[in-house]
Chains A and B, each alone.
Chain A
Amino acid sequence: MIFLLMMALPLLGALAMLVPADRFLRTDSSVRVFGTAVSGATLLVAVSALTAFDFDAPSSAGMQLEIDRSWAPAIGLRFHLGVDGISLPLVALTALLTFLCFLYTLRHPPAGGRIRLLTALLLVLEIGLVGTFVALDLVLFFVFFEVVLIPMYAVIILWGGPARQAAAYKFILYTLLGSGLLLAGMLLVAVNAGTLDMTELAARHGAGVSHGVQIAAFALMGLGFAVKAPMWPLHTWLPDAHTEAPTVGSVLLAGVLLKMGTYGLVRVALPLAPHGAQVWAPWLGLLAVIGIVYGALACLAQRDLKRMIAYSSVGHMGFVLLGIATLTPVGINAALFGNIAHGLITSLLFFLAGAVKERWGTADLDALGGGLLGTSPRLASILTFASVASLGLPGLAGFWGEMLALLGAYRPHADLPRETFVTFMGVAALGAVLTAAYFLRMLAKLTHGPPSGVSAAPGPAVSTQEYAAWVPLIALTLLVGLWPKTLLDVTTGPVHALFGGG
């Protein structure tokens, strides 16, 4: 029931925005407060879900906080929601980031006005994201998977940068192509196994579905999720969408939307077609590694701060995909850890990029000039923190995801070619070094040196709302980085269950 409430709150909030402005919440600022309150309440529900969740339950217990109702028996569709250790952190991350976005918007609304519409769209987006992570029925999962498309499209096209139109169309068409293939793949398994229930399908570990069907189904589902994740070479929608989207859009895109792809791989594609996964895993690993190196090289060539962070996502998600490709508990754990870490750090980076752009009107590295540490010390310090977290400094969140993924690649699943994966590991490690290189290059250009460029004129100080949005992310980055066990303990149980172990 708790997740029903968690989706009903934003839904009611979004519906309230349909009331004409002269009857309800006349001013823009009251609408912003309203949005913050609704998302805050949703976050509280998410926190209560965290407390209601039994972390000590044996992994064989399966899903918790379930709701299971018959919806359309004609096609075997059930309204089945629930969480386990794999999905719970992502649900919490979604609620947190949405709330932080609203908090940030309180003082820094995106240019383009229409704040009522923006509030409604962000709340609908939250419904889709939460729903995707808690749905346990394939068709229901798909419905929520699609719910996010139109709101995100609208956010990009209405509040985006100069090239928003092309970026928005690219985003929605690419991801819809992915979801079409995904639907075909999921139904292929479902009709062969005779059920749409994800827990039941996962418990069977692919039994009853022939080898050939599994190979085809994993290819289709994998393509669908790979577009979302995104995996090289299907990533081309991402840099445009992230760069053109307004700050809150980029934060939610990078922070949660991309995770739908990797979460889907772990929750849907792997358990439904395990034999297919074994066939495709080396290819997935190869593309993931190419993505890591490609993302890093592309970052080195970027002149725009936002675009650079966007490309860095391609690299980081490459590590997550590599973790999944190893098909080992270590690798999957790394992937889930990387998901959360990337969600925290990259959201922070996009917030910062948004702040820079708002202050000096550009995100072009050359135009911005250097010496930010001297002119705007606080902003520059947080930027430095986020950058070193992102490049994987030990002790911060980014480190563990990459480290464990490499470890997983060193010892992949017994049926996978080990030499290949060790090679992947080597190349991926090279990519990690390149990641450090481009972040340090960016910091050297932006924060060090004598003040120059437009940023020589000190911008406004970091506002309370900015601190409020950033400090939780900084704190969590530190927490997860220093005590990775807090997160790993949550995911380990269900990941082992995924592989049929206790």
Chain B
Amino acid sequence: MIQGIDYAAIAPPLILAVAAIGLLLADAFDAPRRVLGLASGGALAVALAAVGALAAGDRRATFCLPDGLRSGGPRSCSYVADDFTLLFQGIVLAAAAVVVLLSLQEITDSKIPVGEYHFLLLSAVIGALALVAARDLILLVVALETLSLPVFALVGLRRYDGNASEAALKLFLVSVVSAAVMLFGISMVYGATGAMHLDRIAPALEDLPADLDPVAAVGVVLVLAGFGFKVAAVPFHFWAPDVYQGAPLPVAAFLSVVSKAAGFAGLAIVLALGFPAYAHVWGPLVAVLAAITMTLGNLLALRQRTAIRLLAWSSVAQSGYMLAPLSVGTHRLPEAVAATTAYVALYAVMNLGAFAVVIGFHRRPGARAYDTLDDFRGLARSSPAVAAALAFFLICLAGLPPGVMGLFAKVVVFRATVAGDVTWLAVVMAVNTVIGLYYYLVWAARLFAPGPAAGDAAPGLPVRAAIAATAAGALVLSVAPQIVLQTVAQAT
């Protein structure tokens, strides 16, 4: 039995894998820092181009079951590059490219080993790319771990820094526990259905013998828990603030955008393709998780005084909004998946933008270890453009015009939730947007309050480019939010 591999389908992760090994080798031969950074960003750009080329073509699938083993069932491919996959791969790659831009200066400043950093970053991106393409549970777990393992190292890469080491350890422990829980769940699902491919699990779960029902139900819940960690949903969220604070800031940005986007894609894939038969189990569970996640995240974000912890809790809260549409169960599920996808895409732009400004601001001369919100006073006077960009990103995150993009993100999520008859969750969201608005607005207002001039708020061309790129993206999407909405609707 020989498996044919469609190399075109797996081109994006393949390109990055080759580039990652190349980078590691080049570093061994003392290639200059600048070259490595350029190569890393270039590899991401090439992979992004490959995704674009694939999007123009037909749906591709590879690592399928050979005919002899299929026994009359579906084709069962492990790796599928359909529109949904390519959309998420595009988001992941674009976001990762921005993270690389943000990292260049940080690597120099914090004396981070440059080759390792880029190697690990690219490896994590490979995991994310594979995760969003995976259509069987084994590949999902492998991809999830490929995404997680390099991140532990990235978090702890700032050597001799107690906070970073503590954060890495915390992330590692939570991750390992959740991986174990998820594997246990997968083994239960496998035991009940005898299948690993999602397109075989779904029909098997449909007509499961009654005595296996509880086993499968517990398995489904445990798999959900594994993804809960990845997207930092309550109760698997508590690593987020400490890790964001301890990790190098670009890595925190990576965790809050790339890693989260991949996690949501994986969650949507598993729930929609694998477990629709158990929607009555996971639907209400997701609804409750979403409600608790957004409420807790927002309430704790209210109390934060440092910028990075506020972003951490706010990104927990935002996870709640992204989870909310998935709570509809099978009732209008495609619409719900489209809503979550749209939110993830829009969130990626605005959150990366906010991170970009915070990272740039942190590099100003005389910065303390952690910037408090009060440190941002007077930014509007010293660097009006940077302050305006940050204010815009925050208003987008709050979901109010002129941040039309954020408003539309909220509207699609509300719509999908209400359409799925989970109106109570929409009301909880309505209350939460108010709490969210308060802390975003308090921060935005600080920018315009009188204060000491902060000096150059965004030194360095790469950081400026990142801010400009995200701000341009946010502006374009605020004028024409239909770009994302249409793409998402076609892809799901």
| Complex: A73 Cα to B400 Cα, angstroms | 22
Task: Tell whether B108 is near chain A: CB-to-CB under 8 Å.
Answer: no
Q: How distant is B345 from chain A, measured CB to nearest CB, in Å?
A: 13
> CB-CB < 8 A to A173: which residues of B?
434, 437-438
Task: Tell whether A436 is near chain B: CB-to-CB under 8 Å.
Answer: no
> CB-CB < 8 A to B110: which residues of A?
none
A139 contacts B411, C-beta separation under 8 Å = yes
Q: How distant is A7 from chain B, measured CB to nearest CB, in Å?
A: 13
> CB-CB < 8 A to A147: which residues of B?
401-402
> CB-CB < 8 A to B419: which residues of A?
187, 191
| A150-B402 contact, Cβ under 8 Å, with A180-B429, A184-B423 | yes
B411 contacts A169, C-beta separation under 8 Å = no
- State which of B395, B423, B438, B486 has its C-beta within 8 Å of the C-beta of A216: B423
Task: Tell whether A414 is near chain B: CB-to-CB under 8 Å.
Answer: no
| Complex: A146 Cα to B415 Cα, angstroms | 17
| Complex: A72 Cα to B438 Cα, angstroms | 30
> CB-CB < 8 A to A181: which residues of B?
427, 430
B423 contacts A169, C-beta separation under 8 Å = no
A177 contacts B431, C-beta separation under 8 Å = yes
A169 contacts B430, C-beta separation under 8 Å = no
A146 contacts B423, C-beta separation under 8 Å = no
Q: How distant is B329 from chain A, measured CB to nearest CB, in Å?
A: 15
B395 contacts A150, C-beta separation under 8 Å = yes
Q: How distant is B445 from chain A, measured CB to nearest CB, in Å?
A: 7
Q: Which residue of A lies closest to B404 (CB)?
A: A143
> CB-CB < 8 A to B431: which residues of A?
177, 180
A74 contacts B488, C-beta separation under 8 Å = yes
Q: Which residue of A lies closest to B395 (CB)?
A: A150
Task: Tell whether B433 is near chain A: CB-to-CB under 8 Å.
Answer: yes
Task: Tell whether B469 is near chain A: CB-to-CB under 8 Å.
Answer: no
Q: Which residue of B lies closest to A145 (CB)?
A: B401
| Complex: A177 Cα to B435 Cα, angstroms | 9
Task: Tell whether B313 is near chain A: CB-to-CB under 8 Å.
Answer: no
Q: Type the 1/0 row for B467-492, where 1 means its CB is closer than 8 Å to any CB of A.
A: 00000000000000110011011100
Q: How distant is B325 from chain A, measured CB to nearest CB, in Å?
A: 12
Q: How distant is B169 from chain A, measured CB to nearest CB, in Å?
A: 39
> CB-CB < 8 A to A139: which residues of B?
411
| A191-B437 contact, Cβ under 8 Å, with A75-B412, A75-B485 | no
Q: Which residue of B lies closest to A147 (CB)?
A: B401
B400 contacts A184, C-beta separation under 8 Å = no
| Complex: A72 Cα to B411 Cα, angstroms | 13
Q: Type the 1/0 row for A178-195, where 1 means its CB is closer than 8 Å to any CB of B.
A: 001101100110110000
| Complex: A364 Cα to B265 Cα, angstroms | 61
Task: Tell whether A142 is near chain B: CB-to-CB under 8 Å.
Answer: yes
Q: Tell me whether chain A's interface is mostly helix, strand or loop, or mixed.
A: helix
B482 contacts A77, C-beta separation under 8 Å = yes
| Complex: A149 Cα to B401 Cα, angstroms | 8
A183 contacts B414, C-beta separation under 8 Å = yes
Task: Tell whether A309 is near chain B: CB-to-CB under 8 Å.
Answer: no
| Complex: A181 Cα to B428 Cα, angstroms | 9
Task: Tell whether A483 is near chain B: CB-to-CB under 8 Å.
Answer: no
Task: Tell whether A300 is near chain B: CB-to-CB under 8 Å.
Answer: no
Task: Tell whether A276 is near chain B: CB-to-CB under 8 Å.
Answer: no
Q: Which residue of A lies closest to B487 (CB)?
A: A74
Q: Type the 1/0 row for B171-207, where 1 means its CB is closer than 8 Å to any CB of A.
A: 0000000000000000000000000000000000000
> CB-CB < 8 A to B423: which residues of A?
184, 188, 216
Q: Which residue of B lies closest to A124 (CB)?
A: B402
> CB-CB < 8 A to B429: which residues of A?
180, 184
| Complex: A180 Cα to B321 Cα, angstroms | 13
| Complex: A428 Cα to B419 Cα, angstroms | 40
Q: Type the 1/0 row for A121-159, where 1 means its CB is closer than 8 Å to any CB of B.
A: 000100010000000000100110011011001000100
> CB-CB < 8 A to B418: which residues of A?
184, 187-188, 191
| Complex: A73 Cα to B430 Cα, angstroms | 25
- State which of A180, A187, A220 has its C-beta within 8 Å of the C-beta of B433: A180
Task: Tell whether A33 is near chain B: CB-to-CB under 8 Å.
Answer: no
| Complex: A73 Cα to B407 Cα, angstroms | 17
Task: Tell whether A24 is near chain B: CB-to-CB under 8 Å.
Answer: no
B381-419 interface (Cβ within 8 A of A): 395, 400-402, 404, 407, 410-412, 414-415, 418-419
> CB-CB < 8 A to B482: which residues of A?
71-72, 74, 77
| Complex: A216 Cα to B434 Cα, angstroms | 21
Task: Tell whether B10 is near chain A: CB-to-CB under 8 Å.
Answer: no
| Complex: A237 Cα to B243 Cα, angstroms | 39
| A172-B437 contact, Cβ under 8 Å, with A142-B411, A150-B395, A184-B418 | yes
Task: Tell whether B344 is near chain A: CB-to-CB under 8 Å.
Answer: no
Q: How distant is A176 from chain B, measured CB to nearest CB, in Å?
A: 5
A180 contacts B395, C-beta separation under 8 Å = no
> CB-CB < 8 A to A191: which residues of B?
415, 418-419
Q: Which residue of B lies closest to A128 (CB)?
A: B401
> CB-CB < 8 A to A128: which residues of B?
401
> CB-CB < 8 A to A180: which residues of B?
429-431, 433-434
Task: Tell whether B441 is near chain A: CB-to-CB under 8 Å.
Answer: yes
> CB-CB < 8 A to B401: which residues of A?
128, 143, 146-147, 149-150
> CB-CB < 8 A to A190: which residues of B?
415
| A187-B486 contact, Cβ under 8 Å, with A180-B434, A181-B427, A216-B423 | no
| Complex: A216 Cα to B441 Cα, angstroms | 31
A237-288 interface (Cβ within 8 A of B): none
| Complex: A77 Cα to B438 Cα, angstroms | 29
Q: How distant is A296 from chain B, measured CB to nearest CB, in Å?
A: 30
Task: Tell whether B426 is near chain A: CB-to-CB under 8 Å.
Answer: yes
Q: How distant is B107 from chain A, measured CB to nearest CB, in Å?
A: 36
Q: How distant is A57 from chain B, measured CB to nearest CB, in Å?
A: 33
Q: How distant is B170 from chain A, measured CB to nearest CB, in Å?
A: 34
| Complex: A172 Cα to B436 Cα, angstroms | 12
| Complex: A187 Cα to B411 Cα, angstroms | 9
Task: Tell whether B268 is near chain A: CB-to-CB under 8 Å.
Answer: no
A380-421 interface (Cβ within 8 A of B): none
Q: How distant is A180 from chain B, measured CB to nearest CB, in Å?
A: 3
> CB-CB < 8 A to B414: which residues of A?
183-184, 187
Q: How distant is B475 from chain A, measured CB to nearest CB, in Å?
A: 12
| A72-B402 contact, Cβ under 8 Å, with A172-B437, A180-B429, A180-B433 | no
Q: Which residue of A lies closest to B332 (CB)?
A: A191
| Complex: A376 Cα to B312 Cα, angstroms | 59
| Complex: A180 Cα to B407 Cα, angstroms | 11
> CB-CB < 8 A to A187: which residues of B?
411, 414-415, 418-419, 426
> CB-CB < 8 A to A124: which residues of B?
402
List 18 interface pairs A-B (beta carbons < 8 Å), by A numbering.
A71-B482, A72-B486, A73-B486, A74-B338, A74-B482, A75-B485, A77-B485, A124-B402, A149-B400, A150-B400, A153-B441, A176-B433, A177-B431, A180-B431, A187-B414, A187-B418, A187-B419, A190-B415
Given A173-B434, A220-B427, 13 more pairs with CB closer than 8 A: A74-B482, A74-B489, A128-B401, A149-B401, A150-B402, A153-B441, A157-B445, A169-B441, A177-B431, A184-B418, A184-B426, A184-B427, A190-B415
Residue numbers of B with Cβ under 8 A of A are 338, 395, 400-402, 404, 407, 410-412, 414-415, 418-419, 423, 426-427, 429-431, 433-434, 437-438, 441, 445, 481-482, 485-486, 488-490
Closest 6 CB pairs of A and B: A180-B430, A74-B489, A72-B482, A191-B419, A184-B426, A147-B401
